[in-house]
Structure 1
Amino acid sequence: MAQPAFEEIVEDFEFLEDWEDRYRHVIDLGKAMEPLPDALKVPATKVEGCASQVWLHMRPEGGIFHFDGESDAMIVRGLIAVLKALYDGVPMAELGQVDPMAELGRLNLQEHLSAQRSNGLRAMIERIREQA
């Protein structure tokens, strides 16, 4: 059920055997994202429960789910990029079929994130599910 962009990340992770290389790859994914306009960094888009500053802007367009995000922490910005690859472009009617924990489990992220980062990742997923 994962989007092609997410499948590409899974393939990259399979190629990168060392977790430090994977960590750098996640950071690079975040760096490659377009910055979120300051006008969208408002309380309504801010995600509570994250140790870092996190904003997610979600919008349906023509029945398709889209979102963008930003964080002041490089690794969190990378995690947003991973979630964007997982969710962006999914038809609204199919959002409930995405199992984010199973999909992210394919990357073994949970094993390598601090408790704070894991909590923040869960908070971002919850926000996406609430908004969707």
Structure 2
Amino acid sequence: MKTVLFACVHNAGRSQMAAAWFNRLADPAKARAISAGTEPGTRVHPEVLEVMKEVDIDLSAQRPTYLSDDLARTATMLITMGCGEACPVVPGLRRDDWPLDDPKGRPAAEVRQIRDDIRGRVSELVTREGWASA
């Protein structure tokens, strides 16, 4: 099984949404997603919890996780979202960067746009890699 690691700075917004969408859209027998941050926050941003709940994804039990080199080595692919040079470089690990705005403190309408952008990117990734749920 493949593991995709989504990483942003605080692991309280973008990467949490991406991992949740991935795990919703991918066949769990083929791939799964985890998320982490280079400077993890203390909780998922309330505005992210709110807009994800609108699409029946509950992130209330999720907690930001530190992006360690060891965690990165467990992944097949690393997708970064704004952590730049702070994200670990693991030889042989496929890597991509999705430039996305941080949803923290933004109005719900903007957070919805970020959520929907992430969903589109995740859907395209899952389809391209052949991991889509039947």
Higher strand share: 2
Q: Please classify the TM superposition score into its range, dividing by the shorter chain length.
A: under 0.3
TM-score, scaled to structure 1: 0.27
